[in-house]
Amino acid sequence: MKKWISFCAGVTALAGPTIAAAEGKAVPPIDFLTWPAAKYQHYYETSNYIAEAWRKLGIPVQLNAQPFPAPMLGMWYTDHKFDVVMSVLSGSPARLDPEFFTATQFWSTNSAPGGMNVGSFRSEKFDAMSAEQRKLYDPEKRRVLINEMQAFIQGEQPEGLIASVQNTTAINTDNVQLDGYQNSPDGIRSVWNLLRLKPKKGQAAVKLGWTIDQASWNPLTFKTLEELDRLGLVYDRMVVTAPNGKPEMWAAEKIDVVNDTTIDVSLKAGMKFSDGKPVTAADAAFSFNYLKQNDAIYFKSVLADLKEAVADGDKIRFTLNKANASFISQGLGQIPIMPKHIWDTVTKDKGVAKPQDYKNIDLIGSGAYKLKYWKEGQEIYLERNASHFMKPPADLLMIQFGSAEVLAASLRKGEIDVSLQPLVPTVISEFADQKNLRLIKTQSNGHMSARYNLKTELFSHKAVRQALAHAIPYKMIIEEVLGGDATPTPSPIVPANTFWSNTNLKVPEYDLDKARGILKAAGFTWDSKGMLRFPE
Q: DSSP labels for 235-290?
A: S--SEEE-TTS-EEESSEEEEEEEETTEEEEEEPTT-B-TTSPBP-HHHHHHHHHH
* pTM (2 d.p.): 0.83
Angstrom distance (rounded) from CA 1 to CA 230: 34
DSSP assignment of 152-201 equals HHHHH-SEEEEEEEEEEEEEETTTEEE-S----TTGGGSHHHHTTEEESS
**Topology classification of domain 30-165+445-533:** Dipeptide-binding Protein; domain 3 (3.10.105)
Spatial neighbors of 397 by CB under 8 A, at least 6 apart, are: 205, 206, 207, 208, 379, 380, 381, 382
Q: What angle do CA 309, 100, 169 make, to 5 degrees?
A: 115
Strands 379-384 and 30-34, sheet pairing: unpaired
Per-residue pLDDT reduced to its tens digit, 226-265:
999 999 999 999 999 998 888 999 999 999 999 999 999 9
In the chain, where does the domain assigned CATH 3.90.76.10 lie?
225-357
Q: Is the pLDDT of residue 14 over 80?
A: no
- Residue 432 — very low, low, confident or very high, per pLDDT cuts 50/70/90? confident
**Topology classification of domain 225-357:** Dipeptide-binding Protein; domain 1 (3.90.76)
CATH C-level class of 174-211+368-435: alpha beta
HSE, side-chain direction, 13 A CA sphere, residue 282: 8
Closest CA relative to residue 269, chosen from 255, 284, 279, 277: 279
Helices (H), 414-511: 425-431, 462-468, 474-476
Per-residue pLDDT reduced to its tens digit, 119-155:
999 999 999 999 999 999 889 999 999 999 999 999 9
Per-residue pLDDT reduced to its tens digit, 455-484:
999 999 999 999 999 999 999 999 999 999
Mean residue pLDDT of the chain comes to: 93
Closest CA relative to residue 255, chosen from 244, 242, 268, 245: 268
Q: What is the mean pLDDT of residues 63-75?
A: 94
Angstrom distance (rounded) from CA 251 to CA 279: 10
Helices (H), 56-112: 72-73, 105-106
Q: Given this model, what pLDDT does residue 114 score? A: 81
In the chain, where does the domain assigned CATH 3.10.105 lie?
30-165+445-533
Q: Given this model, what pLDDT does residue 69 score? A: 86
Angstrom distance (rounded) from CA 334 to CA 337: 9
Q: What angle do CA 498, 499, 504 make, to 5 degrees?
A: 75
Q: What is the mean pLDDT of residues 307-334?
A: 96
Strands 205-210 and 525-526, sheet pairing: unpaired
Residues in a beta bridge with 205:
395
Say if CB 331 and CB 312 are below 8 A apart. Answer: no
Q: Given this model, what pLDDT does residue 295 score? A: 94
Q: What is the mean pLDDT of residues 383-391?
A: 97
Q: Is the pLDDT of residue 2 over 60?
A: no
In 3-state terms, what secondary structure has residue 456?
A: coil
In the chain, where does the domain assigned CATH 3.40.190.10 lie?
174-211+368-435
